[in-house]
Amino acid sequence: MTASASSAAQAAREAVSRRLRELRQDAGLTIVELASRCGWHHAKTSRIENTRSTPSTDDIRRWCRACSADDQADDIVAASRNASSMYTEWRRSMRTGLRQLQESYGELFEATETFRVYSTRIVPGILQTEGYAAALLRGIARFHRAPDDVDDAAAARVERSRIVHQPGHRFILVVEEAAMYYQLGNTEVMAGQLGYLLTAGALPAVSLGIVPASLADRPIRPLETFHVYDDLVAVELLTARVTVTQPSEVALYLRAFEELRSLAVYGADARALILRAIEALR
C-alpha cells in the first residue's frame, strides 16, 4: 500500500516531465538548444526531463515559450502543482513549526463528512489527549529538527479534534491493539490517554474498533497509518505525507479499511482491551 501511494505521486511528476520532453521533441529542439533558449545550463533540462528536478512555474513557462507552446503552459503548471501537492515532505511542512501544521488541516476537517482512520502504532490524532499529543509531537519535532512549539501544537491538535462533538461528521476508527502499549509520555499521560479512549469511544458519532494482537491467521497484514477523508486518502510515511485522489487507489484503501475493520472488536470487547492496557501500566 505504501508503494502504491508513493508511486501515484511519482507517476504524476513523471507525467509532467514527459509532457515537457514531448514539447521539446515536437519543436525539434535538442536538450542544449532548449536550455539555451530558456537561459539555463543543459544539465537542468536533463534533470527536469528525467524527473530528478521539479520545474518551477517560471521554468515551465520558459520551456513552453521556447517550444512555441505558450498555450499549454497553464495546463502543465496545474499538473505540476497537483503532483507536488500529492507528496508533501514533512521537513517542508514543519519548517514554520508544528502548530501551523496542525491548524492547516482545519478546512479539510470541516469539509469531511466521514472520517475513516486506521492506525497501527499510535492513538489516532482525533482522539489524542493534550499530554499524549505533546509527547508524540515532541519526538517528531526532535527527529525532523523542527521548531520547538510542541505545547502550542498539542493544544492546536486538541482544539482541532473538538470536531468529534460537532454535528454533521462521522468517525470510524480502527486501531491495532499494539498502539495502546507503545508508551508516549509518562505513565500518567498514558493512563489519561487510555482512559479518554473509554470515554471517546462511546460518543454517538464515533465508532472505535480495536484489532486484537492475538488474532490468529489474519487475512490482511497491519498496514501503514492512513486517513480517508470522504474521497481523499492521506498516507503517513517517515519522510512525507502522500495524498491519494485517484479513484482506483482510493477504492483500494477503502477495501483495505473495510477488511481491517472487520477484524476489530467493538463495544464491551474493545473496552476490555483498553482496560487491559491500563492494567499493564501498573
Q: What is the pLDDT along the chain (282 residues), one digit of tens a residue?
A: 444 455 566 777 888 999 999 999 999 999 999 999 999 999 999 999 998 888 888 999 999 999 999 999 988 887 776 676 666 666 667 878 888 888 888 888 999 999 999 999 999 999 999 999 999 999 988 988 888 899 999 999 999 999 999 999 999 999 999 999 999 999 999 999 999 999 998 999 999 999 999 998 899 999 999 999 998 898 888 777 788 877 778 899 999 999 999 999 999 999 999 999 999 998
**Nearest to residue 172, comparing CAs of 208, 144, 140?**
208
* Look-up of cell digits 489516532: 124
Domain 2-86's class? mainly alpha
> How far is residue 257's CA from residue 223's CA, in Å, rounded to a whole number?
10
Q: Which residues contact 30 (CB under 8 A, 6 or more apart)?
A: none
Other CB atoms within 10 Å distance of the CB of residue 132: 25
- In what helix (H) or strand (E) does residue 139 lie, and over which residues does it extend? helix 130-144
CATH of domain 94-280: 3.30.870
Other CB atoms within 10 Å distance of the CB of residue 170: 14
pLDDT at 3: 45
pLDDT at 88: 67
> How far is residue 168's CA from residue 119's CA, in Å, rounded to a whole number?
23
**Nearest to residue 60, comparing CAs of 36, 87, 81, 42?**
81
Q: Which grid cell sits at 108?
A: 479539510
**Nearest to residue 49, comparing CAs of 82, 80, 24?**
24
Other CB atoms within 10 Å distance of the CB of residue 68: 11
Domain boundaries, the chain: 2-86, 94-280
Strand order in the sheet with 87-89: 87-89, 240-244, 232-236, 226-229, 114-119, 170-176, 206-211
pLDDT at 52: 85
Q: For residues 57 and 16, is the Cβ–Cβ distance under 8 A?
A: no
Number of alpha carbons in the 13 Å side-chain half-sphere of residue 69: 22
> How far is residue 241's CA from residue 281's CA, in Å, rounded to a whole number?
32
Instruction: Report the predicted TM-score, pTM, of the whole model to 2 decimal places.
Output: 0.73
pLDDT at 75: 84
